[in-house]
């Protein structure tokens, strides 16, 4: 049974097309003078501060406060926009992505990533491919075209690293076993997504013909970039940072590590990868040095400021009047991707050696929730080669908004899952039959 929802979405795609256009616009815009930039920045910070005070008093996640602040200052909120140049948010948002992922990378030296490398690949491959295939057929059933379904499926198969990691940090779960797994899986997932995107673009540009050469080039670029950073960069960069760290000049250390972070982010972007990948790998190199703690401390304030603007930019681009018209197809795609990701990841980890049920559930919930920056990159790439219709951006805009709102509550729910002490098996019960042990084992929740 087919529901031509894409036809309905098409009617409302022009207003929401600006969601993707503004996030990825690189041109100059009217009213982009320094005076307006300062005014916009002042409005953003003041409104964000007010909303954070309110959400803090209500004991709600900060991400929600940032999104609400963006909605208040955005161009679609009546009676008028409080900011003059919405496109300036794009620049700040990209800085936020880079700073957030860089600081997170400083928590994960190569040895720590290697410890979850194998299981990350084992989980990410079936999870990414499985979600992509399932969402593709659901999108087809909803009446989307072949290429619309293809790019929508790829976008929905990618977890937002920025949103997920920020919330895990806020909940104090950044060093949790499930968080290390989530980061490992998202890195592999991003690599799979970028490689698959290159394949899809090649197929679309060649009118459905698969270019083996283009596919090989895409895979080779990704492997060479990550391999050269981890193998070559890890030998020299940490030593350089340590020598600079011995000077005790924090300003010098800050400039050097920011140069590394933005340099690798730029290199990643030029190669067609996500800036988040380059920033995270820069953080990993810094984590290999003895000055990692200093680097983390001096960059955290910058991370907090620009990460806040990233979430505010999402809120600012929300046109509330069109959400009811797009919510049905968006929710169907969200539920499909959430269920497939959660079930596949949890099922694999439950059977994997060394991972308990709690870790499996938390990892599944963390990976299944958020969609965001890279999903929009996928849509933009599809648009660049003329493969998708204008209905895809509005759908993914609503998906990003909805999932960003629900992710804090989903992850918080996962953090409260505990094994009830009264139901834990005693030493005598360990010798009993597996069937009886399974009956005695169940989850409890700490509210």
Which stretch, 96-110, 159-173, 325-339, 364-378, has highest mean pLDDT?
A: 325-339
Give the separation between CA 4 and CA 329, rounded to whole angstroms.
10
pLDDT computed for residue 340 by the predictor: 95
**Please, how many CA atoms are within 13 Å of residue 419, restricted to the half-sphere of its CB?**
13
Q: Which residues contact 52 (CB under 8 A, 6 or more apart)?
A: 62, 65, 66, 69
Tell me the mean pLDDT in the region 190-219: 72
pLDDT computed for residue 56 by the predictor: 83
Record the pTM. 0.67
The vertex-384 CA angle with 265 and 138, nearest 5°, equals 100
pLDDT computed for residue 347 by the predictor: 92
Q: For residue 27, what are its two tokens?
A: 């041109």
Strand partners, 443: 419
Closest alpha carbon to 197 in 217, 181, 179: 217
pLDDT computed for residue 12 by the predictor: 43
pLDDT at residue 438 is higher than 70? no
Q: What is the pLDDT of residues 17-50, one digit of tens each?
A: 444 444 434 334 444 556 677 888 888 889 889 9
**CA separation, residue 374 to residues 100, 163, 217, 394, 414 (Å):** 15, 11, 21, 15, 24
Whether the bond between 79 and the residue before it is cis, its omega within 30 degrees of 0, is yes
pLDDT computed for residue 116 by the predictor: 67
pLDDT at residue 186 is higher than 80? yes
C-beta of residue 157 within 8 angstroms of C-beta of residue 195: no
CA quadruple 239, 240, 246, 251: dihedral sign: negative
Q: For residue 248, what are its two tokens?
A: 């005790």
Q: For residue 188, what are its two tokens?
A: 């592999």
C-beta of residue 271 within 8 angstroms of C-beta of residue 229: no
The vertex-75 CA angle with 12 and 376, nearest 5°, equals 60
C-beta of residue 199 within 8 angstroms of C-beta of residue 214: yes
pLDDT at residue 313 is higher than 70? yes
Q: What is the pLDDT of residues 344-403, one digit of tens each?
A: 999 999 888 778 888 889 899 999 988 876 787 787 778 777 788 877 877 887 888 788
| Least confident window among 162-176, 189-203, 230-244 | 189-203
pLDDT computed for residue 437 by the predictor: 42
Residue predicted with more confidence, 342 or 309? 342
Which stretch, 222-226, 278-282, 307-311, 387-391, has highest mean pLDDT?
A: 278-282
Which stretch, 42-51, 304-313, 336-345, has highest mean pLDDT?
A: 336-345
**What value does the mean pLDDT of the chain take?**
77
C-beta of residue 138 within 8 angstroms of C-beta of residue 205: no
């Amino acid at each position: 049974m087919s529901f031509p929802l894409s036809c309905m979405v098409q009617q409302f795609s022009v207003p929401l097309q600006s969601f993707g256009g503004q996030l990825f616009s690189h041109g100059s815009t009217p009213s982009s003078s320094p005076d307006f930039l300062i005014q916009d920045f002042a409005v953003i910070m003041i409104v964000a501060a007010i909303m954070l005070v309110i959400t803090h008093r209500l004991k709600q996640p900060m991400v929600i406060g940032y999104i609400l602040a963006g909605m208040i200052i955005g161009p679609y909120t009546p009676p008028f926009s409080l900011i003059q140049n919405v496109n300036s948010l794009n620049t700040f948002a990209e800085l936020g992505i880079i700073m957030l992922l860089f600081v997170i990378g400083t928590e994960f030296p190569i040895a720590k990533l290697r410890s979850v490398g194998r299981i990350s690949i084992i989980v990410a491959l079936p999870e990414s491919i499985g979600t992509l295939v399932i969402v593709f057929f659901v999108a087809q059933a909803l009446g989307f075209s072949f290429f619309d379904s293809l790019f929508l499926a790829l976008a929905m198969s990618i977890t937002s690293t920025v949103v997920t990691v920020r919330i895990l940090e806020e909940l104090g779960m950044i060093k949790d076993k499930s968080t290390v797994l989530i980061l490992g899986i998202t890195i592999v997932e991003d690599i799979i997504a970028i490689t698959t995107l290159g394949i899809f673009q090649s197929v679309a540009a060649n009118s459905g013909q698969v270019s083996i050469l283009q596919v090989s080039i895409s895979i080779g670029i990704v492997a060479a970039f990550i391999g050269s950073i981890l193998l070559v960069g890890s030998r020299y960069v940490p030593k350089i940072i340590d020598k600079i760290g011995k000077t005790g000049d924090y300003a010098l250390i800050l400039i050097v590590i920011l140069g590394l972070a933005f340099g690798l982010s730029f290199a990643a972007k030029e190669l067609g990868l996500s800036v988040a990948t380059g920033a995270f790998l820069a953080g990993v190199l810094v984590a290999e040095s003895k000055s990692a703690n200093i680097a983390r401390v001096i960059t955290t304030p910058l991370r907090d400021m620009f990460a806040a603007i990233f979430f505010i930019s999402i809120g600012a681009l929300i046109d509330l009047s069109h959400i009811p018209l797009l919510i049905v197809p968006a929710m169907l795609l969200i539920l499909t991707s959430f269920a497939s990701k959660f079930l596949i990841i949890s099922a694999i980890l439950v059977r994997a050696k060394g991972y308990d049920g709690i870790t499996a559930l938390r990892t599944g919930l963390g990976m299944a929730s958020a969609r965001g920056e890279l999903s929009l990159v996928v849509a933009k790439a599809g648009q660049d080669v003329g493969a998708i219709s204008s209905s895809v951006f509005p759908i993914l805009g609503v998906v990003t908004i909805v999932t960003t709102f629900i992710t804090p509550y989903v992850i918080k729910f996962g953090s409260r899952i505990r094994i009830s002490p009264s139901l834990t098996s005693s030493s005598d019960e360990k010798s009993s039959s597996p069937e009886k042990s399974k009956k005695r084992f169940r989850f409890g929740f700490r509210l």
